[in-house]
Structure 1
Amino acid sequence: MEDAGEMRKASTVPEIKPLDQYDFNRAKVCASVRWLLAKSYGSAENVPVELREPLYRDKYEQEHLKPSVSQLLLSPELYCRTQALLHGVSQPTPQGPPGDNSALLQLLTKRGLEPRDQDVAITEEDLSHTPIKTRAHLVLIDSLMSLAAMETVGKVKMTAEAEKMGGGAPWENALLFWVNRLNQTLRESTEDEKVPTCTDPQPVQPTVRTHTHTHIQITFYLSHTHG
């Protein structure tokens, strides 16, 4: 019979921490890198075991990106392969996939997804700089997430209601509409049948939709549509 410790290790339910103990920066790094690796390798199951946890602790209990993960991020091959696989969701590019970070940045800019950190464009030098500039890489991954959402939503016919959502790009409005519909369905399924429910989706106010909020929705949407 398994002891309690072994059962906890085998559990797939992640530990839920109180909000005051939650490390948003750490969560952002882990989620972004895991998403990138999963897309690049085809699925999370195909990612090598040693790369599935992107961080390690040094002797001072400080967390850093694993050297093997940093090396992958510093190589344009990882990003370019991910972009090629994402674009393959809809249709191939006439000029073929980008071969380096410079070409990738140009492609994203043409799609209206230029990676920018505090209104400053990310450069090829930022992405190849050592020691690694983690923020620059996170911004690039954000742009690739947006590209993935754009490619996915582009295959779905939008309703007139979705087009009225918020003031963002059409693909953002479609995602917000989908998230609102999902929230409405979940709410209705958990409420008492005797309590009247709202039949109209609750709109997300553009004034409170932050960059992080949008990408949380994007990541949630993609993880539930592509596995």
Structure 2
Amino acid sequence: MGEVQDARDVKKTVVAPAVKSFEHYDFPRAKICCSLTWLVAKAYGTESIPADLKDPFYTDQYEQEHLKPPLASLLLSADLYCRAGSMVLSSDADHPLLGHDAVVQALAQRGLYVTDQERLVTERDLRKRPLQMSAHMAMIDTLMMAYTVEMVSVEKVMACICQYSYRDPEVETPYDTEDAVNTWINKVNDPRSPTKWYMKLVPARYRKEQSSTQMVPWIPPVDNLLKDSTDGSALGALLHFYCPQLLPLDDVCLKENMTLADRLYNLQLIQDFCKDNLNGCCHFSLEDMLYASSTIK
């Protein structure tokens, strides 16, 4: 049995994809790529993205990278924003969003303002040629925030947690959406959680009451959603909790001291899981998740 476990560990630490080094990772490009990929997916649906929009960039004969003209045109015309905004903001089909300003106003009605360096973004900014990319990134960021608030509100997260675990409202009520997500992940992954939670997360052979030489798996707590997710341990354990048959805990590399290969293994595992089971919802590259720059937050 020990030999089988050792073989599994070897697999997890040796097999790793090639990634760009930190020095060669283009942070601004990564932000643009992730943002545009998300916007296109929300505008068309993951399964219906036009072939020429699946990758935001193309490379010319001089090996220079550029934004694809069809995508640039759709940003300037507001088509992508109206499509994505209608889905994210659940706008009335009888009153569709038409134009940049309509999307900006719909966001403002929810208390979300599109700002670029503390200045309100206008339709004129979004229609400028060449593209004023910072204005478009601000627009997409605000749409993302609207989507996040709708899908992962503090109330929804706490209601989910309360299904399995007792909480003290005066101590554990999160102060914003990001803190709510951190609390959710930590409650799922905390082996000190109540029995019903713990028994579902931790296989029998890992439980402390079992007379076994196996240790309780190391699942680090999440304090900073970006930085503490770069090894994939907490996210992998979270996915296992909800889908134990699709992602056994044994498949997640859980170590207190993770090598680069271990981290890449977990991150690729998460990517593949999202592609196969969550409608391709992960729009990050391995480098994006590994380096977790605040620019892509």
What is the TM-score when the length of structure 2 is the normalising length?
Answer: 0.53
CA–CA separation in structure 2 for the residues paired with 1:148 and 1:97: 18
Q: 2:79 aligns with which of 55, 77, 80?
A: 77
C-alpha displacement at 1:97, in angstroms? 3.8
- Answer whether contact 1:87 1:93 (CA < 8 A) is retained: no
Higher relative CO (Cα under 8 Å, sequence separation at least 6) belongs to 2
Query: What code does the residue aligned with 2:89 have?
Result: H
Q: Mark the CA change 1:101 to 1:138 in structure 2 (over 3 Å): closer, same or farther.
A: same
Which protein shows a greater Rg?
2
- Structure 2: tracts of 5 or more residues without a match: 1-15, 160-168, 192-200, 207-212, 228-234, 236-269, 282-297
> Partner amino acid for 2:183?
F
Match of residue 135 from structure 1 = 134
- Counterpart contact for 1:162–1:173, Cα < 8 Å: no
Unaligned residue ranges in structure 1 (runs of 5+):
1-12, 210-216
Superimposed CA distance per residue, residues 19-46 of structure 1 (whole angstroms, 9 cap, x where no aligned partner): 1221111111111111111111021x31
Deviations 1:53-99 (A, max 9, x none): 111223433221111110011112221111111233xxx55984432
* Contact 2:114/2:139, CA 8 A, preserved across alignment: yes
Contact 1:114 1:121 in 2 (8 A): yes
1:50 aligns with 2:52: yes
SS of alignment partner, residue 158 of structure 1 = helix
Task: Pick one of 170, 180, 196 that aligns with 1:174.
Answer: 180
Q: 1:193 to 1:118 in 2, by over 3 A?
A: farther
The corresponding residue for 2:97 is: 98
Query: Per the alignment, in what secondary structure is the counterpart of residue 113 of structure 1?
Result: coil
Please, what TM-score do these two structures have when normalized by structure 1?
A: 0.68
CA RMSD of superposed structures (Å): 3.7
Q: Within the alignment, does 1:33 sit opposite 2:54 as a pair?
A: no
Q: Does 17-26 or 31-40 show the bigger shift? A: 17-26
What amino acid does structure 1 have at the position aligned with 2:173? K
For these two proteins, the number of residue pairs brought into alignment is 191
What one-letter code is carried by the residue in structure 1 that aligns with 2:180? A
Q: Deviations over 1:134-166 (max 9, x none)?
A: 11111111111111111112482525489633x
Range with bigger deviation, 55-64 or 34-43: 55-64
Superposed displacement of residue 117, structure 1 = 1.4
